[in-house]
Every structure is written in structure tokens, then in C-alpha cells.
Structure 1
């Protein structure tokens, strides 16, 4: 059905009100999109939580290796509701990444990368999130924070000719120390605002494309405005995710935390099993699957960059895998692959996990480089052959 524009025209003359009207009030959307499309609003909500809690935590945090660990303890013990503040910041980061992974999987499943600018911005946002979360993980200066920073930054030493120079530049010293912590703290404070800017541009880019739906058509007839039909659904999921975050924060606040990180960093004692947060485990598993350090870095970077290459696939009017059985199976297996890589990343780097990691990593790249393009092109030809002209 069609709808009319009921917002007063004078309110559309102002730039901010015009943007709000276009992006959140009268944005035309297919009437049959489901709750899987609410992930965008959930991501915005998680970002707001991260910004507010992060700024409040920064008021009490001390970026000095002597005092940083103690300042975290001070926040949790002496600041009013400080433990809640820190636990909300830490746990909502996990929810943030969970929503991102679901959001990416939805876009791959429903083939919504037709707008190259929007997709490229989305992957760039994801890369920015990875860097932001990594430098933030170092700030508590616990055992796992220190050794994760040491291991990950040392990987750059494998770059031919300039590797050692890059590592020393990142450290700001001859080891992970106070200059490193100061740099990471500055980046962790700056990057969220860059992330916010990229998300605003991402939302603006969304206004220029046709929105898909679960059945894959792009009809402009059966559309309804974003408000109040979809704002109601968004509010429902935001309330639900708020309850989940509150439950985790108050009941099981350290579910996603490593016990080693509650010990102050000691450069003389190496933890038995060094691993990052759960949302980095899939990349960590890919990194460890290649015995060579440089090969591992290339595989790690390629696992993210490959998401840009999906733009090279030929587009079709049917924007979903629901009607493409082979492509549908491949995307589901790709999701299972991601889960398996995350699980293996949490295991020690020893047989049989190293062998499994290599096999599943090979399947991950094969899915993107061979099976998805192969099935996509093959099914595009079938769709084209059976397409009948409108009369």
C-alpha cells in the first residue's frame, strides 16, 4: 500500500529534521520484513551504551602501567555503581559484536551487498570495531591484556624489511610498556567517534538503495513508513536486549572474561594459554592455522578483506538465498564454519585442534572464493533463462 507524507513541510527545511524525517520517520520499507532486520537499531543502541559508559569510565581511568590496574579496581570498588558501569561496558561489547556477526550473516544470506558503498562502509565499520575493541582490551593491564598486546603487535615483525620498525612504532618503546598503553588509550577514546561518523554515513548511504525483504523482491508498491510500524518493533528488541545486558551484568558479569585478566600484568610470567576475547577467536584460529608467522598474518588479514571481494559477484533481481538451494546451503555451512573457528580458537594450539583449524580455515576461504561465486553465477543463469518479460 502507498502512504502520504504527513510531516509539515516547514520541518523538512531544517537539515537535521530533514535527516531524521528521511531516515527514521518516512523511510519506506517493505511491509513484510521481520525481526532479523532490527539488528541495525540494536547496533546503534549498543554503540550509544558503549559511548556513554566509555566516557564515564575514562573520567576515572589512569593510563599508566603502574596505576592502570589499580584504577580499574578503584572504579569497581570505590566509585558509586562503578562495578555496574564497567560490567555494562564490557558485556555490551560482546552483545555489540554478536549483533554485528548476525547483521553480516543476514546481509550475506539475503544478498544485500548490491549497494557497494553501503556494504564497503559496513565492512570498514567492522574493521574499526575490531581495532577499537583490541586496544580497549589492553587497557585493564591484566595478564591476558598485556600478553595479548605483546603477541598481536609482535606479528607485524613478520612484515619484510619494515616489520621491526612497525612494531617499535606501535610500542613507542622497546617493549609493550607505558607509551604503548598511552597510545592505545588515546586510540580507544578517539576511534568510537570515528566509528559513530562512519555509522551516520552508513545510514545516509542506506537511503539511496532499495530495501530487500525475506522473499527477495524489490517491489515499491507494498511499502509502509518506518515510523510507527517499525519503530515499535525496534523498541521491543531494544527492551529485550536491555534485559539481557542487565541480567548478565547483575548475575553473571564475568561470563565473557578471562580469569587471567584479574591478575596484574607481569612481563616475567607468561600465561599457559593466551587467547583474545570470544569475538576475536575465529580470526585467532585462522592466524594459528598457518605455521608461518607471515602466512598467518596474510591469512588473518585476508579473512576480513575477502568480505570486500564479495562485491565482485554478479547481481540479480532476487536478493535472497531462499530461492537458491545451493547458495543457501553454502551460506549456512559458512555460518557453521564461523562457529567452529570460534570454538577452536578457544582451544590450545595443539593436535587435533591445529589440524582442524587448518581444514576449517581452508573451507572458509574456499566458500568465499569458489563455492559462493560458482553457485551465484550458476543460479543467476538459471534465473535468467526462466525469466519472462512483463506484458
Structure 2
């Protein structure tokens, strides 16, 4: 009998037969079974797995919804109503998909906050962080195009306002807008290409997520202490410890998701989107979905159109260079007594931008948006670089195992490695 290059160690004969020819089970065992992970993960580390589950839910529901949706300006709104009223469990599919977008952004925003708090963007995880920002951008593009598909009032006018922003780009701006529209106004060609891209981009996200996970498994996971594992005493196999912990987080996540779908399905939406799109009637107040509001507030904080567009895109682009803006050698904010309060203030500031983005661009709302925008960029461009040089961080633990085995309490001065060896 011929012997292949890979010898499978699985006892099940069917699994062993498949694995010896296509070692997917060996790969899964290596990457998600015995993969060494820091032993001090907290529940903030659940949100990466939750984002992957959410992505799969969005793809599955989206595929079924596309079977009944008609990408035509004359029929799009009615096809969505038919899904809600006539398709078996169509209302459930649509509410899961619609609220799944909000849940996806909630999970990803918490995931990003965890990265900022624990310094997960620092060396050697710069590529990992950059791929995460790329995923975030692809999510935003996918969500924006998906919001246009119901062809309600807010869908139409949101598409008109956002696509018109590209006209602020010198020389080529108007050509880009015409290319996006597929004509000289938001019309049927626009809806068709948005539907095509909305269907395609989630699979592009899957590809980038694969690279994101691959980069994670090359560099290893960060942890709440922000220090690298010193040996086997600092790590645990991913299964069963973190598969069980992720399962607990998944149950809690589904409870919140189910509450939103069954008890408040339209809470995060806009009522104007239940009115068919009418190019002749402009809504009193055009606002995007809530997860775009911070960046929409930054856009409107600047009186100049080009300046507003530049700052809006710059607010995301700045995340790409964040690993080089933060000059502190310490990753975790737990050991940065000054920087952590500036980051907390930045988080509050982000929430203020979200609130202001939903308000009319007038009066004191504009003033608040301008101050909040100023601090948004000030934190990344001035405060972080200066604190990295001026701040005196607290003493880091000698290893991950020592504070874990001591119940997370203070580490006595001069604690030796001997207790770690016993672990």
C-alpha cells in the first residue's frame, strides 16, 4: 500500500483516511485544538470569535434574502415588503440580517476598543492590526451598500448624500461620482451595482479574515498584561479552555441578538426607510445608520466640503499608522496610569460624536462636533506620541503565570521564578 507524505494520528478510520490525503483535521487540531494561548484571557477576547459567527450569520441570511430580492428601482421596495409578508419566515430572515449588521458593528467596535486598551496593535502585531482595519473598511462599504437596497427614503437620500461626497475630490471627483452612480443620478444602475457589490464584499471579508487569523497564529495572541509568554507555564491549549469560554460569550451574545430581533427589530433603524424612495421629496433630516454617525459628525464639523471629506476618511486612515504613533514600549493600559485616562476620555469622545452625528448640523451641535473632532485627532497625533516618551509606566509582571496563580493580586517585590516553575 502506498504511503503518503502525511501520516494522520487520528484513531477514527474515516477521519484518518481523509486526513492522510487532505490534512484539514490535523490543521484544525493544530490551530484550534493544541494552539498555545495565554492563560489570562478575559471575556474581551470573546469578541473576535463573535465577529466570525456574526459574519457567517450575515452571509447565510443574505444568500436567502437575495433569492427573493429584486434589484430594480421599480420593484426593490415591494420585494422587501413581500419578503416581510409572504415569504415563509421572511420577516425573521430580514430582521436577523438587518439587526445583524448592528450587532456586527457593536462586536467589532468592542473588539477595536480591546485592541486599543491592551495595545494589540504594537509589535509584532502591526500587520494583524492593519488587516483588522481593512476588514473594518470593507464592513463599512458593505453596510452602506446594503442600506441602499430596501430603496426607502433614507436609503435613496443616504446614497445620494454619501456618494456626492466624492465630488469634493479635485479634478476626478465628478467622474468618480458618475462611475459610482452608473449615470447622472442615483437610479437603477446605482441600485444594481450596489446589490452586486453588497453580495460580493462579504466573501472578500472572509478572505481578509483568513489572513487576519493567519497573522494572529503567526505572532500569537496578545493578553491583558501585554507581555509575551515566557514558557509553557504561561499558556493553555485553545481547546477546551477557550472554546468553552467562547461558548459562554456566544450564549450571552445570542440572548442580546434575540432580544433585538424579537422585541425591538426596528429600534436601531429609521422610520423614513419604510417610505418608498422619492427623488422629489427630501427628508427633513438625512442621517446614516448609527454605526456611521461618529464619522458623519466629523464630516459635518468642517464647513469646507473637501476638508470634511478629508477628515472623515482621515479618522479611519489614522488607525493604519497607529502602531507607529504610540511610542510607549508598554502595551497594556493597565500599566500606563496616565495614558489610560486619556483613552477613556477618547472613548467618551467617540460616543459624543455618535450622539452629535444624529443631530442637525446647527447651533451648539456643530460646536460640540468640532471640539470632539479636535480631541479625536489630538489623541492619536499628539497625546499618544508624547505620553510614550514622558509617561512612567508601572512595573510589569515577570510572567503571565505569576499574577494568574496569585489570583491577580499585587506581585510582591523580588518575586522569583520558583513559584512559576511549580506551576
Normalising by the smaller structure, the TM-score range is: over 0.9
2:90 is equivalent to residue 78 of structure 1: no
* In 2: Cα distance, 1:130 partner to 1:46 partner: 15
Residue 246 of structure 1 and its aligned partner are, at CA, apart by: 1.4
1:187 to 180, 194, 197: 197
**Contact kept in structure 2, 1:23 and 1:203, CA below 8 Å:** no
Once structures 1 and 2 are overlaid, which stretch shifts more, 334-343 or 68-77?
A: 334-343
* In 2: Cα distance, 1:48 partner to 1:380 partner: 44
2:373 to 361, 364, 380: 361
| Aligned residue in 2 for 1:177 | 187
* In 1: Cα distance, 2:309 partner to 2:393 partner: 37
Aligned partner of residue 104 in structure 1, secondary structure: helix
**Contact kept in structure 2, 1:314 and 1:377, CA below 8 Å:** no
**Contact kept in structure 2, 1:288 and 1:354, CA below 8 Å:** yes
1:76-130 Cα deviation digits (max 9, x unpaired): 0000111111000011110100111111111011011121110110000000000
**Contact kept in structure 2, 1:23 and 1:207, CA below 8 Å:** yes
* In 2: Cα distance, 1:370 partner to 1:8 partner: 55
| Aligned residue in 2 for 1:39 | 47
| Aligned residue in 1 for 2:313 | 301
Larger radius of gyration: 2
2:141 is equivalent to residue 131 of structure 1: yes
Once structures 1 and 2 are overlaid, which stretch shifts more, 10-19 or 76-85?
A: 10-19
2:180 is equivalent to residue 154 of structure 1: no
**Contact kept in structure 1, 2:225 and 2:334, CA below 8 Å:** yes
Distance 1:184 1:317, change over 3 A: same
| Aligned residue in 2 for 1:48 | 56
* In 1: Cα distance, 2:297 partner to 2:24 partner: 44
After TM superposition, list the pairs within 5 Å mapping 1:1-391 onto structure 2.
8=10, 11=19, 14-113=22-121, 114=123, 115-219=125-229, 220=231, 221-313=233-325, 318-379=330-391
**Contact kept in structure 2, 1:38 and 1:233, CA below 8 Å:** yes
**Contact kept in structure 1, 2:337 and 2:394, CA below 8 Å:** no
1:205-232 Cα deviation digits (max 9, x unpaired): 1011132222222123321111111101
Distance 1:381 1:31, change over 3 A: closer
Aligned partner of residue 65 in structure 2, secondary structure: helix
Gaps of at least 5 residues in structure 1 are 1-5
Aligned partner of residue 391 in structure 2, secondary structure: helix
Q: How many residues are aligned here?
A: 382
* In 1: Cα distance, 2:23 partner to 2:169 partner: 47
* In 1: Cα distance, 2:325 partner to 2:356 partner: 30
Distance 1:380 1:188, change over 3 A: farther
Residue 19 of structure 1 and its aligned partner are, at CA, apart by: 3.1
Normalised by the length of structure 2, the TM-score is 0.86
The runs of 4+ residues in structure 1 deviating greater than 3 Å are 6-15, 313-318, 379-384
* In 2: Cα distance, 1:208 partner to 1:316 partner: 23
Higher relative contact order (CA 8 A, sep 6+): 1
Residue 294 of structure 1 and its aligned partner are, at CA, apart by: 0.4
Distance 1:314 1:146, change over 3 A: closer
* In 2: Cα distance, 1:334 partner to 1:89 partner: 31
**Contact kept in structure 2, 1:12 and 1:21, CA below 8 Å:** no
Aligned partner of residue 87 in structure 1, secondary structure: helix
| Aligned residue in 1 for 2:403 | none
* In 1: Cα distance, 2:115 partner to 2:175 partner: 39
1:174-212 Cα deviation digits (max 9, x unpaired): 100000000000000000000011101110110111322
* In 2: Cα distance, 1:361 partner to 1:45 partner: 33
Residue 279 of structure 1 and its aligned partner are, at CA, apart by: 0.3
* In 1: Cα distance, 2:190 partner to 2:10 partner: 53
Normalised by the length of structure 1, the TM-score is 0.93
Residue 171 of structure 1 and its aligned partner are, at CA, apart by: 0.3
Aligned partner of residue 325 in structure 1, secondary structure: coil
